[in-house]
């Protein structure tokens, strides 16, 4: 376990280094970008920016400076909002976690149920329609699917709001029941897009691993000792078929984030993804850098957690 | 019934090389096994459906220019933002260009991106996986940490940042960006396979009779990795095409060619999603959906063929 944690830490360090290198490759002058948003644009301001941003230091010095800043929670100042990036994005992080968390939970529940049905009726019409449905939505560009749902449910029927996290002009706190309903109403479409897009992967993995498991001898033994189909499924097949899903989910966290970005842009849902794309369009590099970092760390942590969960679920797994 | 490639390919090969019986025998066996794989592949409904879809789009990519009636750049002032009609089946865009023409023009770059970026990721992934799995030790550790880094970074963000960093975005640079962000999954799969192959007896036997590392990798390990990479490659094409569409949609795609993502981006910016014409936004998206569907079908069919345990029942 210790080795896993050390490896995860090394991975985080590497992500930070890549983060440093990548944004030094950007073909624009950070001091100038900072200055262009300043009302008093004089050369003095420019040189002050160069000095405060440490652009006169050598690259190794800048690198060490960046590492120290990151570990002391100094994550830089956004060009666009002229505030520390964490201040800008801290609310957005919560909103994204709400969106991603809800849809991931739904993906799990629906995906495993449908995968099970498909595996039990392998080769029949039910199986073909479930897998077909899964693959159809698996290959759908998230942003396009979001637009299609927008056309159907927000443009034509106005059952759901077109955009935003909640009715503009209201604050989430203090929480009241009306506000919760409002938030859920706004979240419905984005969550639906992410759930339907993500559920396909889980269905297919669950189906294939269950089909695999059902050929094992212990399933036959289960039937031989007089268990019903339901009992075999719950006690013998289910727990084994679920294992691959844990690992895949951890690997997929990066993809789930990718989906969240596109959904947030289409629905103007101001989460992390919305801020990222805006930051890129505005050349707001400190923001990009910060989001890049937290995204990477989130995936590393998710993988660590998946390892722990796997040990709990499968006693055969040994972590070295 | 259908043609059985297993028999036909075998016969054709043997006939073609009938002057050299030894060679004919050897090649005949290879052709036979390729034929058998093809047969199994075409036996699955996914394989058939996928192949038909992909052939259709390849046909469009090659011959589109013969059939399309409008010039891609032909604009019209009075017929902009039209909805579907017989004259313009996909409607027209904000500058009065025919969307079907644009979509047909966009087929070729989209397919090229899919295949080329897949090629880059597969080559990189296989090389890294082979090296890392075979060499082992601390070098393996170092490579795997880098691999972990690539797996952990939000893939879309890395691609977006790389595309934003590039000063000129052409088809080639976008292919490279997509290619180098997608190899890490393959590397991990290949490495796992190599680790198990390395311990097998045939490798040990080869080493005992004095084979070098290069020979063992090329003749004994690589051929056993190929089927795995192949099934993975088909699915990767689908992901590469999706990546390109996403990048283009975010206005970070290739600037020198027409692509489906770009049409969608234009449509979105004209807020076609809210005011119509809906065809402008639905149809190019459906093209992407079907191409991706085709490759995904083929990928899963291939998986079923190469995984005998699934095929038994």
Interface test with B, best of A141, A197, A271 (most B CBs within 10 A): A141
Answer for the pair A200, A132: CB distance below 8 angstroms, yes or no: no
Whether B59 has its CB under 8 Å from any CB of chain A: the answer is no
Q: What distance in Å separates the CA atoms of residue B285 and residue B281, rounded to the nearest whole number?
A: 7
| Model confidence pTM above 0.90 | no
Answer for the pair A195, A101: CB distance below 8 angstroms, yes or no: no
CB contact under 8 A, B289 and A141: yes
CB contact under 8 A, B296 and A148: no
Contacts of B265 in chain A (CB under 8 A): none
CB contact under 8 A, B312 and A142: no
Residues in chain A: 320
Q: What distance in Å separates the CA atoms of residue B193 and residue B228, rounded to the nearest whole number?
A: 9
B274: nearest CA partner in chain A: A155
pLDDT at B291: 92
Q: What distance in Å separates the CA atoms of residue B53 and residue B292, rounded to the nearest whole number?
A: 10
A302: nearest CA partner in chain B: B152
pLDDT at A87: 83
> Which of B145, B167, B245 lies at the smallest CB-CB distance from A141?
B245
Q: What distance in Å separates the CA atoms of residue B288 and residue B109, rounded to the nearest whole number?
A: 12
Whether A304 has its CB under 8 Å from any CB of chain B: the answer is no
Contacts of A280 in chain B (CB under 8 A): 160-161, 164, 250, 252
Residues in chain B: 313
- pLDDT over 80 at A166, yes or no: no
Answer for the pair A138, A111: CB distance below 8 angstroms, yes or no: no
Region B32-44: what's the mean pLDDT? 81
Helix pair B21-43, B45-67: axis angle to 10 deg: 100
Whether A305 has its CB under 8 Å from any CB of chain B: the answer is no
Q: In which element (H, E) is residue A127 found?
A: helix A125-138
> Which of A204, A254, A281 lies at the smallest CB-CB distance from B154?
A254
Region A205-231: what's the mean pLDDT? 85
pLDDT at B112: 92
Query: Which tens digits make up the pLDDT trace of B113-147?
Result: 999 999 999 999 999 999 888 888 888 888 888 88
Task: Write the DSSP symbol of residue A77.
Answer: B
> Which of A22, A136, A299 lies at the smallest CB-CB distance from B161?
A22
pLDDT at B151: 80
- pLDDT over 70 at B308, yes or no: no
Answer for the pair A86, A272: CB distance below 8 angstroms, yes or no: no
Higher pLDDT, A233 or A252: A233
B185: nearest CA partner in chain A: A251
If contacts are CB pairs under 8 Å, which of residues 60-119 in chain A contact chain B?
Answer: none
Between A and B, how many residue pairs show a Cβ–Cβ distance under 8 A?
147
Q: What distance in Å separates the CA atoms of residue A174 and residue A178, rounded to the nearest whole number?
A: 11
Region A219-229: what's the mean pLDDT? 86
CB contact under 8 A, B310 and A212: yes
Preceding peptide of B291 cis, ω within 30°: no
pLDDT at A121: 84
Please list the helix, strand and coil fractions of chain B in percent, rounded to the nearest 5, in that order.
75, 0, 25
**How many angstroms away from the CA of A196 is the closest CA of chain B?**
14
In order of A62, A143, A153, B105, B106, the CA distances from B102 in angstroms are: 47, 20, 28, 5, 6
Interface test with A, best of B156, B238, B274 (most A CBs within 10 A): B156
- pLDDT over 70 at A305, yes or no: yes
Q: What distance in Å separates the CA atoms of residue A199 and residue A191, rounded to the nearest whole number?
A: 12
CB contact under 8 A, B148 and A7: yes
Measuring CA to CA, which residue among A244, A245, A239, A236 is closest to residue A217? A236
A136: nearest CA partner in chain B: B293
A32: region left, alpha or beta (phi > 0 left; psi from -120 to 50 alpha):
alpha
> Which of B146, B264, B296 lies at the smallest CB-CB distance from A139?
B296
Interface predicted TM-score (ipTM) of this complex, two decimals: 0.80
**How many angstroms away from the CA of B278 is the closest CA of chain A?**
8
Higher pLDDT, B29 or B124: B124
Contacts of B305 in chain A (CB under 8 A): none
Tokens read off for A276: 């990222």
pLDDT at A297: 86
- pLDDT over 90 at A279, yes or no: no
Query: Which tens digits make up the pLDDT trace of A40-85?
Result: 667 777 777 777 777 777 778 888 888 888 888 777 777 777 788 8
Q: What distance in Å separates the CA atoms of residue B220 and residue A55, rounded to the nearest whole number?
A: 53
Whether B274 has its CB under 8 Å from any CB of chain A: the answer is yes
Region B16-21: what's the mean pLDDT? 80
**How many angstroms away from the CA of A223 is the closest CA of chain B?**
19
> Which of A144, A155, A299 lies at the smallest CB-CB distance from B264?
A144
Q: Which residue has the tokens 């084979």?
A: B211
Query: Which tens digits make up the pLDDT trace of B218-255?
Result: 888 888 888 888 878 888 898 899 889 988 888 888 88
Q: Which of A89-93, A305-309, B28-32, B69-73 has the lowest mean pLDDT?
A: B69-73
Q: Which of B64-78, B92-106, B129-143, B199-213 has the lowest mean pLDDT?
A: B64-78
**How many angstroms away from the CA of A42 is the closest CA of chain B?**
27
Tokens read off for A272: 């992390």
Answer for the pair B288, A141: CB distance below 8 angstroms, yes or no: yes
Contacts of B295 in chain A (CB under 8 A): 139
Query: Which tens digits make up the pLDDT trace of A114-143?
Result: 988 888 888 788 888 888 888 888 778 888
pLDDT at B43: 80
Q: What distance in Å separates the CA atoms of residue B204 and residue B199, rounded to the nearest whole number?
A: 7
- pLDDT over 80 at A144, yes or no: yes
> Which of A139, A255, A299 lies at the smallest CB-CB distance from B238?
A139
Contacts of B153 in chain A (CB under 8 A): 15, 18, 254, 292, 295-296, 299
Q: What distance in Å separates the CA atoms of residue B6 and residue B27, rounded to the nearest whole number?
A: 13
CB contact under 8 A, B268 and A147: yes
Instruction: Measure CA of the first residue to CA of the last residue in chain B; give whole Å.
Output: 22
What proportion of chain A, given as a percentage, has pLDDT over 70? 90
Answer for the pair B248, B259: CB distance below 8 angstroms, yes or no: yes
Region A265-277: what's the mean pLDDT? 85
Its sign, for the CA torsion A207, A211, A216, A222, is positive
pLDDT at B77: 62
Tokens read off for A34: 């900072």
Whether A148 has its CB under 8 Å from any CB of chain B: the answer is yes
> Which of A251, A265, A280 lies at the smallest CB-CB distance from B151?
A251
Q: What distance in Å separates the CA atoms of residue A263 and residue A276, rounded to the nearest whole number?
A: 12
Answer for the pair B247, B155: CB distance below 8 angstroms, yes or no: no
If contacts are CB pairs under 8 Å, which of residues 143-182 in chain B contact chain A?
Answer: 145-146, 148-149, 151-158, 160-162, 164-165, 167
Q: Which of A88-92, B49-53, B79-83 has the lowest mean pLDDT?
A: B79-83
Collect all residues with Cβ–Cβ distance below 8 Å to B86 and sequence separation of at least 6. Answer: none
B285: nearest CA partner in chain A: A144
- A90-285 — its CATH code? 1.10.3720.10
pLDDT band at A153 (very low <50, low <70, confident <90, very high): confident
pLDDT at A320: 55
CB contact under 8 A, A148 and B285: yes
Q: What distance in Å separates the CA atoms of residue B174 and residue B113, rounded to the nearest whole number?
A: 8
CB contact under 8 A, B309 and A144: no
Contacts of A128 in chain B (CB under 8 A): 45
In chain B, what are the domains?
A: 5-10+14-43 (no CATH), 107-257 (1.10.3720.10)
């Amino acid at each position: 376990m210790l080795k896993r944690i050390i490896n995860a830490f090394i991975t985080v360090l590497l992500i930070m280094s890549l983060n440093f290198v990548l944004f030094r490759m950007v073909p624009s002058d950070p001091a100038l970008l900072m200055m262009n948003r300043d009302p008093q644009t004089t050369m003095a301001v420019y040189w002050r920016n160069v000095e405060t941003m440490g652009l006169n230091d050598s690259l190794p010095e800048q690198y060490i400076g960046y590492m120290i800043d990151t570990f002391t929670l100094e994550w830089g100042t956004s060009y666009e909002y002229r505030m520390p990036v964490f201040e800008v994005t801290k609310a957005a992080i919560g909103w994204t976690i709400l969106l991603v968390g809800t849809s991931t939970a739904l993906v799990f529940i629906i995906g495993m149920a449908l995968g099970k049905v498909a595996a039990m009726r392998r080769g029949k019409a039910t199986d073909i329609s479930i897998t077909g449905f899964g693959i159809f939505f698996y290959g759908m560009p998230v942003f396009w699917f979001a637009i299609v749902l927008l056309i159907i449910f927000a443009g034509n029927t106005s059952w759901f709001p077109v955009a935003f996290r909640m009715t503009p002009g209201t604050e989430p706190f203090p929480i009241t029941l009306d506000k919760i309903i409002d938030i859920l109403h706004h979240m419905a479409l984005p969550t639906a897009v992410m759930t339907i897009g993500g559920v396909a992967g889980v269905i297919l993995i669950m189906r294939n691993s269950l089909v695999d498991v059902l050929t094992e001898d212990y399933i036959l033994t289960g039937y031989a000792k007089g268990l019903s189909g339901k009992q075999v499924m719950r006690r013998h097949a289910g727990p084994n078929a679920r294992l691959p899903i844990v690992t895949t989910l951890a690997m997929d966290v990066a993809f789930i984030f990718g989906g969240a970005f596109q959904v947030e842009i289409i629905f103007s849902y101001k989460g992390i993804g919305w801020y990222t794309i805006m930051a890129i369009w505005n050349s707001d590099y400190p923001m990009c850098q910060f989001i890049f970092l937290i995204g990477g760390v989130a995936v590393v942590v998710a993988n660590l957690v998946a390892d722990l969960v796997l040990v709990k679920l499968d006693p055969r797994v040994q972590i070295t | 019934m259908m043609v059985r490639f297993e028999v036909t390919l075998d016969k054709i090969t043997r006939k073609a090389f009938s002057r050299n019986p030894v060679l004919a025998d050897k090649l005949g066996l290879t052709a036979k096994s390729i034929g058998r794989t093809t047969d199994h592949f075409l036996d699955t409904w996914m394989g058939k459906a996928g192949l038909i879809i992909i052939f259709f789009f390849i046909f469009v990519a090659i011959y589109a220019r013969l059939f399309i009636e409008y010039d891609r750049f032909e604009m019209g002032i009075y017929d902009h933002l039209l909805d579907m009609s017989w004259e313009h089946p996909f409607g027209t865009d904000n500058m009065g260009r025919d969307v079907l023409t644009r979509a047909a023009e966009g087929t070729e770059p989209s397919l090229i991106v899919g295949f080329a970026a897949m090629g880059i990721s597969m080559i990189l992934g296989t090389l890294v996986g082979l090296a890392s799995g075979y060499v082992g030790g601390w070098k393996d550790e170092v490579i795997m940490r880098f691999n972990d880094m690539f797996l952990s970074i939000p893939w879309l963000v890395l691609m977006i940042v790389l595309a934003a960093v590039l000063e000129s975005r052409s088809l080639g640079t976008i292919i490279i960006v997509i290619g180098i962000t997608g190899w890490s999954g393959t590397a991990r799969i290949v490495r796992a396979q190599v680790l198990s192959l390395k311990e097998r007896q045939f490798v040990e036997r080869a080493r005992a009779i004095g084979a070098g590392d290069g020979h063992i990798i090329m003749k004994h390990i690589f051929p056993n990795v190929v089927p795995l990479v192949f099934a993975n490659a088909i699915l990767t094409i689908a992901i590469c095409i999706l990546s390109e569409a996403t990048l283009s949609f975010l206005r970070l795609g290739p600037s020198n060619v027409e692509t489906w993502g770009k049409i969608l981006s234009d449509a979105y910016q004209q807020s076609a999603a809210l005011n119509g014409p809906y065809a402008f936004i639905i149809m190019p998206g459906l093209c992407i959906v079907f191409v991706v569907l085709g490759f995904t079908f083929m990928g899963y069919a291939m998986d079923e063929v190469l995984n005998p345990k699934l095929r038994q029942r």
